[in-house]
Amino acid sequence: MTKSTIPTTSAVPNQDRLEILKSAFPEAFTEGKIDLEKLKAALGEDLASGKERYNFTWAGKRDAIGILQIPTRATLVPAPEESINFDTTQNIFIEGDNLEVLKLLYKSYFGRVKLIYIDPPYNTGNDFIYPDNYTDPIETYLQISGQKDAEGNLLTSNPETSGRYHSAWLSMMYPRLFLARQLLRDDGVIFISIDDREVSNLRKLCDEVFGEENFIASVIWQKKYSPSNDSKWLSDNHDFILLYSKNKEIWRPKLLPRTEEANSRYSNLDMDPRGDWKPSGLDVKTYSAEYDYEITVPSGRIVKPPKGACWRVSKERFQELVNDNRIWFGSDGNNVPAIKRFLSEVKQGITPLTIWLYKEVGHNQEATQELKKLGIYDFDSPKPVRLIKRILEISTENNQDDIIVDFFCGSGTTAHSILELNHKDGGNRKFILVQLPEPTNNKSFSTIAELGKERIRRVINKIQSESSTGQPGLPLETRDTPEDLGFRVYKLKESNFKPWVGVQEKDPETYMHQMQAFNDALVEGWTVDAVLTELAIKHGLCLTYQVEKIAILGGTVYKLTDPEKEQSLFVCLDSHFDLAAFNELKLDKETIFICLDSALDDETAANLALVCRLETI
């Protein structure tokens, strides 16, 4: 076996795709680099074809794609003091720039997320646009979290007077959507709220990222219950929600529960023992001579299909339906025949529509009132809980441990909705929320991230209070798993591992000084929990990994486990490690053991590398 060193940066998503391409088309690579002309030839593309073709582009697109190739040197640091039930919960709240966070989540959550819902900036000219830095993203974030730029100026919005008004927004969205797609399961789906300003651009962008063949729908949500009479042109009463699946051939929406209004359309005019029914037209517009025939109704009147139409069943089948009392001729027997559709035979649910009215899923004012009931005021444009619940109801299961991600989480409506829906139906849905510590006008909260975390705490307290007073919710004894009323908080920080910056001067003294600086590979002020979390992320463990502390001869080893992974990590951060202590662990050659490089002498390192997969920091 060999010894390897822990990388100081994250995995690069495109590297995995490149390896797949290299495996499928080795002839398209020369000296390790892809040759696009050879790839086109291998795919049978006509190289002589014209260059003009449809292409969606914008100023800065190349840089937006390029930022995906830059690994992050950031990490996530746990904040148990801001969490609830940190050791047992499966819910996550991350404070940080979502692009850096998505890069960190990539390895751990690749193909594991059932639903993504995001409510990104609408590019109104006043909302915040994430200023991605293509050379040093984490440094940019550290400046952002201080709410000032490198010159000490306050961060600005993306005004319409900007020469790259739409381009800046598209460049911000592209890498985030690209990474979001990598997280989705094959049966996963993404819902994106947007308004008229960018809906056309977002549709084109999503067609490129998710594939236009995976477009599901453009839902119209009635966000206001009354017109805006001060509107200069038309009253803006709706937003859009775009739906794209990872694979349209696999994803199917769940049916919505039937409503009293839907069932009220059924009645039993002839006291049929099969129960309530409603009449459905017998004619269709797709003409066929075989289905064009005369029908004599009970009153003796002869009826024919409308001109250019025919009946939907053959003459023989029609007679079978009459014999089975499935044709309705009206109470006087003189009506044009209709087929009886029985309530007992229809789907036990309703197919979701593409128009969502406020009466069904709430409106903006309702969302504001929901925050006020929790003691939270002055937050602009929150989404109502009923809206997110509708999305959850048609795209998640209550008992499949579905993971839901929202990386523009704002005030935390997604978490609020998941907690309440789980409480109602006994579900075990889990959330991962991400929010930049963007400043807010709210006097009680300095940032939106702080507001979101506090909202989750208050929702949990509300549910616990309702449970103790016997208010509605699924009884504990009927649940398959305990109700998860908690969340882990993580914050985006610089890596705990010192980056190697190299030496420009060639003199030995400078080189030795640099080497001495790296005698300790970890940054000053590192903590065990922070380093364990960073190691878990680098090895693809989920953020709800479990830690077992193992006392060994003269030190401590931590066993990190992710239930979804077959392999655990064993980590020792002691300044010295003895081979005799390792023997107590009884690890095999496939076990990953991580320790400080400085804790091992050459002989111990060589012996450890023979009996396990040794990695050093």
Task: Give a yes or no: residue 334 inside a domain.
Answer: yes
Q: What is the pLDDT of residues 565-574, one digit of tens each?
A: 888 899 999 9
Q: What is the pLDDT of residues 238-292, one digit of tens each?
A: 999 999 999 999 999 999 888 888 888 999 999 999 999 999 999 998 888 889 9
User: Does 273 share its domain with 366?
Assistant: no
Q: What is the pLDDT of residues 188-240, one digit of tens each?
A: 999 999 999 899 999 999 999 999 999 999 999 999 887 776 777 887 889 99
User: Does 339 share its domain with 355?
Assistant: no
Q: What is the pLDDT of residues 518-541, one digit of tens each?
A: 667 889 889 999 999 999 999 999
Task: Give a yes or no: residue 609 inside a domain.
Answer: yes
Tell whether the model's pLDDT for residue 338 goes beyond 50: yes
* Number of H-type helices and E-type strands within the chain: 18, 25
Would you call 94 helix, strand, or coil by DSSP?
Answer: strand
To the nearest 10 degrees (0 to 180), the angle between helices 98-109 and 137-145 is 120
User: Does 341 share its domain with 358?
Assistant: no
Tell whether the model's pLDDT for residue 127 goes beyond 80: no
CA 137, CA 66: separation in Å to the nearest integer? 12
User: Does 487 share its domain with 389?
Assistant: yes
User: Does 485 share its domain with 509?
Assistant: no
Domain count, the chain: 3
Q: What is the pLDDT of residues 231-243, one digit of tens each?
A: 778 878 899 999 9
Q: What is the pLDDT of residues 359-383, one digit of tens each?
A: 999 999 999 999 999 999 888 888 9
User: Does 475 share its domain with 574?
Assistant: no
For residues 610 and 180, the model is more confident at: 180
Distance from chain centroid for Cα 118: 7
Confidence grade of residue 453 (pLDDT, cut at 50, 70, 90): very high
Tell whether the model's pLDDT for residue 155 goes beyond 60: no
For residues 467 and 85, the model is more confident at: 85
Place of tokens 């109502």: 384
For residue 103, what is the enclosing H or E element? Answer: helix 98-109
For residues 155 and 482, the model is more confident at: 482
Domain ranges, residue 176: 81-229+351-493
Domain final position from 345, 380, 402? 345
CA 493, CA 73: separation in Å to the nearest integer? 9
pLDDT of res. 257: 86
pLDDT of res. 148: 44
Averaged pLDDT for residues 573-597: 85
To the nearest 10 degrees (0 to 180), the angle between helices 165-183 and 98-109 is 20
pLDDT of res. 516: 61
For residue 449, what is the enclosing H or E element? Answer: helix 448-468
User: Does 373 share its domain with 300?
Assistant: no
Give the global pTM. 0.82
Q: What are phi and psi of 485, to 5 degrees?
A: -110, 70
Tell whether the model's pLDDT for residue 580 goes beyond 90: no
Least confident of 12-16, 461-465, 555-559, 591-595: 12-16
Domain final position from 345, 366, 392? 345
In single-letter form, the type of residue at position 490 comes to Y
Tell whether the model's pLDDT for residue 455 goes beyond 80: yes
pLDDT of res. 482: 85
Q: What are phi and psi of 216, to 5 degrees?
A: -100, -55
Q: What is the pLDDT of residues 596-611, one digit of tens each?
A: 988 888 888 888 888 8
Confidence grade of residue 153 (pLDDT, cut at 50, 70, 90): very low
pLDDT of res. 443: 80
The Cβ of residue 583 has, within 10 Å, a number of other Cβ atoms equal to: 12
pLDDT of res. 589: 85
